[in-house]
């Protein structure tokens, strides 16, 4: 099942969890909060967390993973045939 967003992107369901955070490694630098253009990261009860249901909004750019110097964010692209499809035009 495809979900169309703003005419330029589609989401193919079934991605599962592809981003996680290790709170033991996280130093609360908030770089993930700043870099995420989709605003998917939050501070909850003093910890950095990704929002529930992030899979339906994430652009899968891995920017959060790239800026995490502490190595607290684990990112893997969703399994083949799922995730975001960006269409030009």
Taking only the tens place, the pLDDT of each residue in 41-80 is 999 999 999 999 898 888 889 999 999 999 999 999 887 7
Q: Which two tokens stand for residue 50?
A: 């990704």
Structure-token match 């499809």, residue found: 85
> In this structure, what DSSP letter does residue 83 have?
E
pLDDT recorded at residue 1: 39
How would CATH label the architecture of 2-86? 2-Layer Sandwich (3.30)
Q: Is the pTM of this model over 0.85?
A: no
Q: Is there a contact between 36 and 82 (Cβ–Cβ < 8 Å)?
A: no
Q: Is the pLDDT of residue 31 over 50?
A: yes
**DSSP code string of 11-42:** EES-----EEE-TTT-----HHHHH-TT--EE
């Amino acid at each position: 099942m495809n979900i169309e967003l703003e005419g330029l992107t589609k989401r193919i369901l079934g991605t599962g969890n592809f981003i996680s955070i290790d709170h033991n490694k996280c130093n609360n630098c908030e770089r993930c909060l700043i870099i995420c253009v989709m605003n998917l990261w939050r501070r909850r009860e003093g910890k950095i967390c990704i929002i529930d249901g992030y899979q339906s909004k994430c652009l899968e750019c891995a920017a959060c993973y790239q800026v995490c110097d502490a190595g607290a964010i684990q990112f893997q692209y969703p399994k083949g045939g799922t995730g975001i499809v960006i269409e030009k035009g």
